[in-house]
Structure 1
Amino acid sequence: MDREEYVEAVLRAVESIPEGSVATYGDIAEYVGQGGPRQVGAIMREYGGGVPWWRVIRASGVPADEVGDEQLELLRADGVRVANGRVNLREVRWNPVE
């Protein structure tokens, strides 16, 4: 898969995360079948503005520093419960095979 195909695959994966769910950067890389969390993060920074980027979060359940408040606000609007600035991944993690 070339870079352009990879970018498109990542963005399609993010678009398929339903409202009320989140995925980690690593989840997206695994779903796409290439790269890792850092590569997904780089794509989201560069190209993610047109997809529900706020549904992709660190594996710790804590948003990235540069988007933290905005991301948590958007997640709450999606119906995701946020406690102490953290999302409980066990409750809302996207499982694309369900």
Structure 2
Amino acid sequence: MADYNFYDNVYDVVRLIPKGRVTSYGAIAAYLGSKQSSRVVGYAMMAAGTANPPIPAHRVVNRQGLLTGKFHFGGDTMEQLLASEGVEVIDDKVQHFKVLYWDPAIELTL
């Protein structure tokens, strides 16, 4: 059974990621005080498709900048969404990842 309260907290954080920036599943989990829950953040992203307001799940990648969730978008939709925000992706990897990386623990205050 999913923890929808945790999902809602994840969605609140993901909605704050600025256009043209990316973060990781682990950074969101750590920010929410549950460092070991990066996989659950991934599950929340998989379930985000019908959330209202919409969740910019395409801005969440793995810790190396890889588009590990892209198959949930279908085709190259995740890459196209990132490209529309100026994020360059080559071979399913965000280019200039360290420059574009948005860490909620630094960018947000609890």
- TM-score band w.r.t. shorter chain: 0.7 to 0.9
> What is the identity, as a one-letter code, of the residue corresponding to 1:12?
D
CA contact (8 A) 2:10 2:28 kept: yes
Q: Distance in 1 between matches of 2:103 and 2:27?
A: 9
| 1:81 and 2:88 correspond | yes
Over aligned residue pairs, what C-alpha RMSD do you find? 1.9
Residue 77 of structure 2: aligned partner: 70
TM-score by length of 2: 0.76
Deviation string 1:37-82 (CA, Å, 9 cap, x unpaired) is 1110111112x12200000011221212513611111001111122
Q: Distance in 2 between matches of 1:44 and 1:23?
A: 13
- Superposition deviation, residue 93 in structure 1: 0.4
Number of equivalenced pairs = 96
List gaps (5 residues or longer) in structure 1: none
Q: Distance in 2 between matches of 1:39 and 1:94?
A: 19
- Superposition deviation, residue 27 in structure 1: 0.9
SS at match of 2:9: helix
% of aligned pairs identical? 33
